[in-house]
Amino acid sequence: MLAGAVVIWVAVIGLSVFATKIRPGAYGEKAGLRLIVWGGCVFPVVVLTALLVWGLQMMPVLRAEANGPTIAVSAERFWWRVAYDVDGEPGVAKSLPEGGVPSANEIWLPAGLRSEFLIGSPDVIHSLWIPSIAGKMDAIPGRVNRLVVEPTKPGVYNGVCAEFCGDAHAQMALRVVVVSPEEYEAYVARQSQPASVGADDEGFRRFTENGCDACHTVRGTAATGKVGPDLTHLASRRTIAAGTLPMSPENLATFVGFTHRVKPGVQMPSYGMLSEDEIAAIAGWLETLK
Ligand SMILES: [Cu+2]
């Protein structure tokens, strides 16, 4: 393209210089018209059409291939379901692959590698947007969109849902943590471990008694609910409820007791009817899920 542009530029400048040098009236009106039709219309149409066809053909070749992990991101109302190291089959898939190491609302990425997000949704259209790292990509029910990202600088970045998806849309954020590839591997290895929960743990007993396990999984225990976020390593995350509150024992208690006041429209029932002690016991136990 550069070579072509130089040739055309030299020709156009040459013509202009030539035009200033010739005697007025040296060429007739017909000759002038011919130059405009051939040089000004036909030539650019042919050249630009050829470039367009060539460029479109080149697009798949230029698309960056991932050389890092494949991470499934499911946009839910109103949080992000994450699974590390899933098997992403090429081609157009209708739903996200099962398996992988589950997490939520926080995505760790290795710096300097091209990781691939497989992005889907079980309910409505959302959009994953991590402004410092990549452009927006819609999460559409019934199809899987792919997004290759290559973060270069370690750090913590913010992401949001960028497509109105319901009441709590504005409280559907996430954190992206970019670390070295070694730290990334260690993180995923830690996340793949089950939680260590004693059978006589007071907080865990109240967690199951109140039916939290119907919606939440704590790997290594009998809690295998799939509706809400995996809580196995909840306390290792930076925020609660998709960026709504910073992670702390007090905020965990606030979220469980005043769920709808903290996040209006949230798809989890409030447990305000529980006694303060009971909520404190549950929150204290959740805090141990590092
Ligand atoms: Cu959303």
Q: What is the pLDDT of residues 217-261, one digit of tens each?
A: 999 999 999 999 999 999 999 999 999 999 999 999 999 999 999
Please tell me the distance between residue 265's alpha carbon and the centre of ligand 1 in angstroms. Answer: 12
Domain positions in the chain are 2-62, 70-191, 202-286
Q: How close is the Cα of 240 to the center of ligand 1, in Å? A: 16
CA of 165 to the centre of ligand 1 (A): 5
CA of 202 to the centre of ligand 1 (A): 35
Report whether pLDDT(281) > 70. Answer: yes
Site of tokens 């050249």: 47
Segment 264-271 shows an average pLDDT of 95
Cα of 55 vs centre of ligand 1, distance in Å, is 34
What is residue 145's predicted lDDT score, i.e. its pLDDT?
Answer: 93
Distances, alpha carbon 91 to alpha carbons 118, 144, 163, in Å:
12, 9, 25
Question: Per residue in 83-138, pLDDT tens?
Answer: 999 987 766 778 899 889 999 999 999 999 999 999 999 999 999 999 999 999 99
User: In this model, does residue 24 exceed pLDDT 90?
Assistant: no
Report yes or no: 86 and 71 within 8 Å, Cβ to Cβ.
yes
Ligand 1 center to residue 254 CA distance, Å?
Answer: 23
Q: What is the pLDDT of residue 198?
A: 76
Strands 101-104 and 155-161, bridge-based pairing: unpaired
C-alpha of residue 124 to centroid of ligand 1, in Å: 8
**137-139 vs 173-179, strand pairing mode:** unpaired
Chain segment 56-81, per-residue pLDDT in tens? 998 888 777 889 999 999 999 999 99
* Gap between the Cα atoms of 33 and 40, Å rounded: 10
Å from CA of 76 to ligand 1 middle: 7
Contacts of residue 249, Cβ cutoff 8 Å, sequence gap at least 6: 283, 284, 287
Instruction: Note whether 70-191 and 202-286 share their fold.
Output: yes
Tell me the pLDDT of the chain averaged across its residues: 93
Residue range 70-191 in CATH 2.60.40.420: yes
Least confident of 21-25, 213-217, 219-223: 21-25
Distance 156 CA to ligand 1 centre (A): 21
Per-residue confidence (pLDDT) for residue 91, from 0 to 100: 65
| pLDDT: which is higher, 198 or 213 | 213
From the list 160, 178, 16, the residue with the least C-alpha distance to 78 is 160
What fold does the segment set 202-286 form as a domain?
Immunoglobulin-like (2.60.40)
Band of pLDDT at residue 197, cut at 50, 70 and 90: confident
For ligand 1, the distance from its centroid to the CA atom of residue 123, given in whole angstroms, is 10
Q: What pLDDT is stored for residue 90 in this prediction?
A: 62
Has residue 52 got a pLDDT over 90? yes
